[in-house]
Amino acid sequence: MNEIILNSHNKSLIRKKRFWNISLIAIILIGIILSSIIIDINSSNLLNGIPRLGDYVSQILPSLESSNLFLSPKDQGSIAYWYFNLPKYLKLLFETFNMALLATIVGSTLALFLSFLAAKNTSPNSLVFFTIRRILEFFRGVPEIIFAILFVWVLGIGPLAGIIAMTLHTTGSLGKLFSEVHENSNNKPIDALKASGGNWLSEMKFGLLPQVLPNLISYVLLRFEINIRASTILGFVGAGGIGQELYLVINFNYYEEVSAIILLIILTVISIDLFSGYLRKNIIGVEND
C-alpha cells in the first residue's frame, strides 16, 4: 500500500515538473518571438551584414610578411612597422589601468562603508536601510557611459570623468554585493560582542568583517577586471585612456592601428583576468573562473 502511494506521489511530482518545464520553455519562446517582432529583427539585413563584418576584419588585419617580421619600423610588413606607435599605446594602457585601479579602490571603500548601512542585520534603522539601498540602486542602475558623458560635459575630456563614472558604478554594484554578504553572515559573533558591551563599530570590525572579508576581496578583484574593460569603452566618449585613442583611429580608418590597439587591449584584459584569478584561488581560496 505504501509503495502504491509512494509511486503515485512520484508520478505526480514528475508530471508537475514536466508541466513547469514545458511552461517555462513556452514562455521563453513566446518572449523571443515577441521581442523579435518589437525590435523588428530583419533577417535579410542580418545576413547581408555578416559579410561586411568579415570585410572590416580583413581590412584591420596587418599586412605582415614572414621575411620582414623582425625588421625596423620603417620596413612595411614588419611587427615594428605595425606597432610603430607602441610607446604611445603603452602609456595610454597604463592610464587605463590606473583609471580602473583608482575607481576600484575608491568605489570599493565607499561601498564597504555604505554596505553596513544597506544590510538588514547591520543597518541602524529601517529609514537608513531604505535610503542607502535606493542610493546604491541609482549608482548601479545608471550605466558608466552615461555618468561618463555627464562628467565629460562638466569636467572636459580626460580620465577624471571616467574615474568618477566608474567609481559611482563600482560603489553601487559592490555596495549591493557587500550588503548581501553581510546579510548571509553568521550573527552569533556580533551578538556575543553586543552582549559583552561592545559598540556598533567593534561589532562590525571584530564580529562581521573577519568572516566576510574573503568574499569582499573576491568581489573587489572581480570588479577590477570589469573596470578594466569599462575604462576602455568610456574612452569612446572622451573619458581618457586607450579607448579614446581606439575611437580616433576607428574614425580616421587607420585600419592597422585599430588591430594593434585591440590586440593590446585583449592581451591586457587576459593578463589581468589570469592574475586576478590566481589571487582568488591561491590567496583567498576561491576557485578560478
Question: What's the mean pLDDT in 9-34?
Answer: 82
Could you report the per-residue pLDDT of 236-250, keeping only the tens digit for each? Answer: 888 888 988 888 888
The 10s digit of each residue's pLDDT in 106-115 is 999 999 999 9
Same-domain check for residues 56 and 146:
no
89/194 same-domain check:
yes
**What is residue 91's predicted lDDT score, i.e. its pLDDT?**
92
Task: For 174-200, write each residue's pLDDT tens digit.
Answer: 999 999 998 888 877 777 877 777 777
User: Across residues 218-243, what is the average pLDDT?
Assistant: 88
The residue assigned the cell 566618449 is 237
Residue 169 has pLDDT above 90, yes or no: yes
- For 225-238, what is the mean pLDDT? 88
Residue 67 lies in a domain: no
Pairwise CA distance, residues 134 & 50, whole Å? 42
Q: Tell me the one-letter amino acid at 217.
A: I
In a domain, 172, yes or no: yes
pLDDT for 183 equals 87
Rounded Cα gap, residues 169 and 150, in angstroms? 14
Asked if pLDDT for residue 52 goes beyond 80, the answer is no
Place of cell 580626460: 158
The answer to whether 225 and 276 are in contact (CB under 8 A) is: yes
Domain-ending residue, one of 44, 60, 76: 60
pLDDT, average across residues 113-122: 89
pLDDT at 285: 59
* Same domain for 212 and 113: yes
d(CA 86, CA 89): 5
What mean pLDDT is predicted for residues 105-125? 91
Name the domain boundary from 45, 60, 75.
Answer: 60
On whether residue 164 sits in a domain, the answer given is yes
Within a domain: 80 = no
How many CA atoms, within 13 angstroms, populate the side-chain half-sphere of residue 27? 6
Mean pLDDT of 285-289: 50
How high is the pLDDT of residue 43?
Answer: 63
Are both 8 and 133 inside the same structural domain? no
* Structural domain count of the chain: 2
Amino acid at 86: L
Give the residue-averaged pLDDT of 94-103.
Answer: 92
Residues 165 and 89 in one domain: yes
Residue 94 sits in the same domain as residue 50: no
Per-residue model confidence (pLDDT) at position 193: 75
77 domain-assigned = no
pLDDT above 50 (res 264): yes
> Residue 289: its pLDDT value, please?
47
Instruction: Output the average pLDDT for the chain.
Output: 84
Q: Give the CATH number for residue 228.
A: 1.10.3720.10
Q: What percent of the chain has pLDDT over 70?
A: 91
Containing domain of residue 31, as a range? 2-60
Please, what is the end-to-end C-alpha distance for the chain in angstroms?
A: 50
Higher per-residue pLDDT: 134 or 191: 134
**How many helices and strands in the chain, by DSSP H and E?**
12, 0
Q: How sure is the predictor about 288, in pLDDT bands with cuts at 50, 70 and 90?
A: very low
Separation between Cα atoms, residue 231 and residue 224, nearest integer Å: 10
Query: Rounded to whole angstroms, how far apart are CA atoms 56 and 263?
Result: 15
The distance of Cα 170 from the centroid of its chain, to the nearest Å, equals 9
Same domain, 161 and 97: yes
User: Same domain for 43 and 90?
Assistant: no
DSSP state of 77: T
- Residue 252 pLDDT exceeds 90: no
Binned at pLDDT 50, 70 and 90, residue 4 comes out as low
Residue 8 binned pLDDT confidence (cut-offs 50, 70, 90): low
Kindly state whether residues 137 and 261 are assigned to the same domain.
Answer: yes
Do the domain assignments include residue 147?
yes
User: What Rg value do the Cα atoms of the chain yield, rounded?
Assistant: 26
Note whether 110 and 243 are same-domain residues.
yes
Q: Give domain status of residue 66, yes or no.
A: no
For residues 45 and 158, state if they share a domain.
Answer: no
Which residues have a Cβ under 8 Å from the Cβ of 223 and sit 6 or more positions away? 104, 107, 108, 170, 173, 174
Task: Please tell me whether residues 25 and 100 are part of one structural domain.
Answer: no
Give which of 234, 253, 216 is closest to 109, Cα–Cα: 216
DSSP state of 197: T
What is the C-alpha separation between 123 and 129, in angstroms, rounded? Answer: 6
Q: Which of 17, 44, 60 is the last residue of a domain?
A: 60
